[in-house]
């Protein structure tokens, strides 16, 4: 019977701890920069609306959404969704998040290729993410009794690979959105030097959460490939 061995436990444990470290660091950074009040007195919502206007985007709405760090851009209904704290607060952290999410809106408006690719992968990922692990486990178990087990296991690996691909496609999307946000904040002199430094630092740690997720997905994929190969 197939069971996760020490290799998988090490990978999951190591990246789990690393992810926890980065996540906690991100939260502490946002807490720190939430205390840096903006000289211009603008809220996150006002920052977002101005960035959209400066890029000539008139068909995207800025709305408030419940929760903490739940901020996102929804290309389906063209809304920049800002968490309650970001929407109404007037600090460096709120400015960073609001501008970053608007960076995704700019990507959408300019048909940024990586964003388009990620959007195409979403409906596929919604299916593969539910079954990939079970198909791999079932395939490995069947390999002990039937030749078709190997084929099933490799199908599972391929399905898991789609999720890994999605994680890596997400990286340029997130980094580019932050770069667009920071460039606009700087070029328009929206923030004082100390405020800008805080926004830049916060976005760097936010991007690292996606990097850790992508590396964890890749390490797990390689583990599954080795496990299936060793039984093939």
State the pLDDT at residue 2: 45
Q: Is residue 40 part of a domain?
A: yes
**What is each CA distance from 206 to 23, 117, 201, 202, in whole angstroms?**
8, 21, 9, 6
Residue 113 belongs to a domain: yes
Cβ 67 vs Cβ 120: under 8 Å: no
What residues of the chain score a pLDDT lower than 70? Answer: 1-4, 232
DSSP secondary structure letters along 64-126:
EESSSS--EEETTTTEEEEEHHHHH--BHHHHHHHHHHHHHHHHHHTT-HHHHHHHHHHHHHH
- pTM, whole model, 2 decimals? 0.90
Q: Specify if 103 maps to a domain.
A: yes
DSSP 8-state class, residue 171:
H
- Is 193 exposed, middle or buried, given 0-12, 13-18 or 19+ CB atoms closer than 10 A? exposed
Confidence at residue 232, expressed as pLDDT on a 0 to 100 scale = 62
* Residue 1 located in a structural domain: no
Domain that holds residue 143: 6-231
Contact between 86 and 98 under an 8 Å Cβ cutoff? The reply is yes
Q: What is the pLDDT of residue 146?
A: 82
Is 172 domain-assigned? Answer: yes
Residues 143-195: pLDDT tens digits? 888 889 999 999 999 999 999 999 999 999 999 999 999 999 999 999 999 99
Give catalytic residue positions. 101
User: Residue 36 falls within a domain, yes or no?
Assistant: yes
Number of domains composing the chain: 1
């Amino acid at each position: 019977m197939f069971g996760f061995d020490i290799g998988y436990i090490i990978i999951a444990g190591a990246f789990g701890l690393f992810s926890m470290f980065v996540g906690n660091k991100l939260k502490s950074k946002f807490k720190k920069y939430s205390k840096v009040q903006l000289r211009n007195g603008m809220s996150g919502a006002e920052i977002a609306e101005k960035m959209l206007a400066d890029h000539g985007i008139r068909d995207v709405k800025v709305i408030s959404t419940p929760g903490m760090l739940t901020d996102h851009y929804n290309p389906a209904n063209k809304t920049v969704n800002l968490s309650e704290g970001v929407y109404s607060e007037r600090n460096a952290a709120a400015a960073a998040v609001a501008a970053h999410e608007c960076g995704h809106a700019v990507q959408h408006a300019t048909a940024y290729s990586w964003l388009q690719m990620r959007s195409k992968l979403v409906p596929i990922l919604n299916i593969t993410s539910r079954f990939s692990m079970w198909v791999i486990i079932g395939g490995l178990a069947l390999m002990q009794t039937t030749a078709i087990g190997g084929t099933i296991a490799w199908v599972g690996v391929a399905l898991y690979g789609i999720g890994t691909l999605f994680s890596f496609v997400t990286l340029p999307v997130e980094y580019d959105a932050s770069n667009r946000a920071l460039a606009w904040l700087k070029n328009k002199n929206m923030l004082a030097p100390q405020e800008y430094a805080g926004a830049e630092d916060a976005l760097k740690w936010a991007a690292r959460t996606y990097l850790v997720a992508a590396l964890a997905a890749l390490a797990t994929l390689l583990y599954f490939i080795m496990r299936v190969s060793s039984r093939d």
